[in-house]
Amino acid sequence: MAPENVDGPRLADALRASEAPVLVLVCVCPRGMPGCGCASKAFEAVASNRGARLLAFRVDGEAEQAMVRRFGISAMPTILLFYGGMELARLTGAIDETGLDRWLAEREARLRLQRVRAEPS
């Protein structure tokens, strides 16, 4: 699915609703920031390629200062990855499509391994 532009309250609602087993990828940066990871084709492509397995959101970090403080974001762009409403990982700084895809794939693999280990034998 293509990333959706949301504000802080809408993101909070989406995270509460995402307690089902789906990854949520959030890019936080000032809207219109040149080279921002949120606006990049890389973020869009990686999010779109995952389809229904991933919800993707963009948040204007300049306009949503309360959300920036809540998540302790100190630099932008910052990409946050959530699962079951909890933050799994974060990435700060610009990244290309290959790097973002690899970063996300590694986290997906770790999550699958954790879920397998948690299953009763």
pLDDT tens track of the chain, all 121 residues?
Answer: 778 889 999 998 888 876 667 899 999 988 777 666 565 778 889 988 988 889 999 999 999 999 999 999 999 989 999 998 889 999 998 888 999 999 999 999 998 888 777 777 6
Q: Could you tell me if residue 84 is left (phi over 0), alpha (psi between -120 and 50 degrees) or otherwise beta?
A: left
Please state the pTM of the whole predicted model: 0.87
- pLDDT the model gives residue 19: 60
Domain spans of the chain, in order of start = 4-118
- pLDDT the model gives residue 98: 92
| CATH match for 4-118 among 3.90.180.10, 3.40.50.620, 3.40.30.10, 3.20.20.120 | 3.40.30.10
The CA–CA distances, whole Å, from 80 to 18, 38, 50, 76, 100 equal 14, 11, 16, 11, 12
- pLDDT the model gives residue 60: 92
- pLDDT the model gives residue 119: 72
- Cα separation, 60 vs 23, whole angstroms: 20
- Cα separation, 111 vs 96, whole angstroms: 23
